[in-house]
Amino acid sequence: MDFQRQQAKFRRSKPSRLGRGIERLTHPFGKAIAGVLPRAAVEAVLKGIDSAVGAPQLVNFDHDPADLVAARRAATRVSRAARAISGSSGAAAGLGGIVTAGLDIPATIAIALRTIRDTGRAYGYEGLGPQEKLFRLQILELSAINDPEERQARIAALEASIGPDGELVAADHEKIVPVVDQAIERVSRAIALNSFRSRAGMIVPIIGSAVGGIVNVSFQGDVGEAARFAFQERALRARDNPGAAATVEV
C-alpha cells in the first residue's frame, strides 16, 4: 500500500463534493433555521471533548498499531460505523423538521469526536492531554471547512503540529490551554455555520429525512478521511524516524 500517495492525494483534495452540493441546494433556506441552535450549544459539546476519550469505542479492534495496513483498515471500519450511526440519527431527526434539525447537531459532533479518537487508537494514539485535545479539534475543523484555500491552510497547520517522531510539537500547559479555547470558538463557528446551511432542507419533514441522513453520512465521511490522514501522517513519521523520539539535547 502506497501510504505517501494516499497522504499526497488528501493534501490535494477539495472539500466534499456532496457536502458542497447539499449546501448549495439548501442555502436559500439557511436563514430559516439559523437560530434553532445557538452556537453556544456547539461550544458546550466541544468543551466536553475530553469525554470522548472515555466513551465506548465505535468499533473494537485488536490489531498491531505498528501494522499500518491493519491500522488503516481498522480506521476505515470506525468511519463506516460512524456513518451508519450518524446517518440513521440524521434521517430520524429530519422527520421532525426544524426542531429536531438543531438537536441532531450536538449528537453528530459527539460521534465525530469519537471517530477521531478511535481512529487515533487504531494507529496507537490514545489521545490524552491538552495537545491531543487541540489536535482532535484541528481535525474536526478541517472536516467542516468548505473553502478550498482555507482547507489547504488548515492541512498545513495540522501537519506543522506534528513532530518528526510522530508526536505532537511540544508546548507547555499554560500556552496550549488558551489555544484550545480559541480553537473551540473557531471550530464551533465553522460547524454551526455549515451545519445550519446544509440542514436547511430539513424544514420539510419528508425531504428533511433524506437531507438529514445524507448530510450526516457526508460529514462523518469527511471526518474519517481527515482523521486517517492526520494519524497516518503521525504514524509514518514515527516509522521513518525511529530514533527521533530518543534524541535528547544536552
- Measured CA to CA in angstroms, residue 108 lies from 71, 132, 137 at distances of 24, 20, 14
Q: Walk along the chain (250 residues) and give the pLDDT tens digit of each residue.
A: 799 999 999 999 887 655 544 455 444 444 444 455 556 666 777 777 767 667 788 899 999 999 999 999 999 999 999 888 876 655 444 444 455 555 667 778 888 888 999 999 999 999 888 889 889 989 988 888 878 898 899 999 999 999 999 999 866 555 566 667 667 766 766 665 555 555 554 554 545 555 556 777 788 888 999 999 999 999 999 999 876 544 433 3
List beta partners, residue 168.
Answer: 162
Q: Is residue 43 part of a domain?
A: yes
Q: Is residue 47 part of a domain?
A: yes
d(CA 109, CA 231): 19
- Measured CA to CA in angstroms, residue 11 lies from 36, 179, 244 at distances of 34, 24, 24
Q: Is residue 244 part of a domain?
A: no
d(CA 26, CA 196): 9
Q: Is residue 149 part of a domain?
A: yes
Q: Is residue 182 part of a domain?
A: yes
Q: Is residue 246 part of a domain?
A: no
Q: Is residue 189 part of a domain?
A: yes
Q: Determine the distance from the C-alpha atom of residue 244 to the mean position of all C-alpha atoms in its chain, rounded to a whole number.
A: 28
Q: Which pLDDT value is given to residue 189? A: 62
H-type helices in 127-204, by residue range? 130-144, 148-160, 173-198
d(CA 107, CA 119): 18
d(CA 92, CA 103): 11
Q: Which pLDDT value is given to residue 145? A: 82
d(CA 22, CA 95): 18
**Domain range for 68:** 3-239
Q: Is residue 249 part of a domain?
A: no
122, 75 in Cβ contact below 8 A?
Answer: yes
Q: Determine the distance from the C-alpha atom of residue 44 to the mean position of all C-alpha atoms in its chain, rounded to a whole number.
A: 16
Q: Which pLDDT value is given to residue 121? A: 95
Query: What cell numbers appear for 89 in the block?
Result: 440519527
223, 79 in Cβ contact below 8 A?
Answer: yes
198, 25 in Cβ contact below 8 A?
Answer: no
pTM of the model: 0.77
The tally of domains found in the chain comes to: 1
